[in-house]
């Protein structure tokens, strides 16, 4: 409800400020829209590549293989194996992570320990490879490992923190 008031208010302030400063607000808006379309076309090949790679990863059965091997270790620490697919896919695919999180929530409930753990993982981690691929392709960075390693460590830290926090609930 409040966004129905705030967004038009902010837009009005921007337009009023631009007009007050004597700027051609509509022309500036059109130039920004043109630049946005150019950026979209530059990113399109990267997006196609990401979506194909994600589809291949999910359909190959590699996730099931990884979960089978990781679950031997996670069972020692009483980490629910139901969240492992979410923890693996979240850095790769936001839509894939939403599918896994939705499945977890519908099976276990949103107020369950596993449901809250899934929600925390969704909120505290990032679709790392997607974001890095987009940003790096836009600024034409060739060596992305200096970004990938800390980003993956941050995702891992957020997932481990969520697991530790919810193991005490």
The DSSP result for 13-55, as a single string, is: HHHHHHHHTT--HHHHHHHHHHHHHHHHHHHHHHHHHHHHHHH
Query: How many structural domains compose the chain?
Result: 1
Helix (H, G, I), strand (E, B) or coil at 79: coil
Rounded Cα–Cα distance for residues 116 and 134 (Å): 30
Residue 39 has pLDDT above 70, yes or no: yes
Residue 145 covered by a domain = yes
Q: Which two tokens stand for residue 86?
A: 């979410």
Kindly state whether residue 20 falls inside one of the protein's structural domains.
no
Instruction: Please identify which residue in the block is written with the tokens 């909120």.
Output: 123
Does 43 map to a domain? Answer: no
Residue 41 maps to a domain: no
Domain residues for the domain of 128 are 61-167
pLDDT reported for residue 47: 72
By CB neighbour count within 10 A (0-12 exposed, 13-18 middle, 19+ buried), where does 123 fall? exposed
Alpha-carbon span 83 to 101, nearest angstrom? 8
Radius of gyration (C-alpha) of the chain in whole angstroms: 21
Encoded tokens for 132: 């890095």
pLDDT at 169: 67
To the nearest whole number, what is the mean pLDDT of the chain? Answer: 84
Per-residue confidence (pLDDT) for residue 126, from 0 to 100: 83
- For residue 65, tell me if it sits in a domain: yes
Q: For the segment 122-151, what is each residue's pLDDT rounded down to a tens digit?
A: 988 888 887 887 777 777 777 777 788 888
Does 136 fall in a domain? yes
Is residue 108 very low, low, confident or very high in pLDDT (cuts 50, 70, 90)? very high
pLDDT in tens, 72-98: 888 888 888 888 888 888 888 787 788
């Amino acid at each position: 409800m409040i966004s129905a008031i705030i967004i038009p208010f902010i837009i009005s302030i921007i337009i009023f400020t631009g007009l007050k400063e004597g700027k051609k607000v509509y022309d500036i808006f059109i130039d920004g829209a043109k630049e946005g379309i150019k950026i979209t076309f530059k990113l399109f090949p990267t997006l196609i590549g990401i979506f194909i790679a994600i589809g291949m990863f999910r359909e190959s059965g590699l996730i099931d293989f990884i979960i089978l091997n990781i679950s031997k270790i996670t069972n020692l620490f009483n980490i629910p194996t139901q969240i492992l697919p979410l923890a693996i896919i979240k850095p790769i695919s936001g839509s894939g992570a939403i599918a896994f999180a939705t499945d977890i929530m519908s099976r276990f409930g949103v107020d369950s320990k596993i449901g809250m753990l899934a929600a925390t993982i969704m909120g505290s981690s990032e679709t790392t490879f997607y974001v890095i691929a987009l940003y790096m392709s836009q600024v034409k960075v060739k060596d992305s490992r200096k970004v990938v390693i800390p980003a993956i460590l941050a995702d891992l830290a957020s997932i481990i923190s969520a697991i530790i926090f919810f193991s005490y609930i």
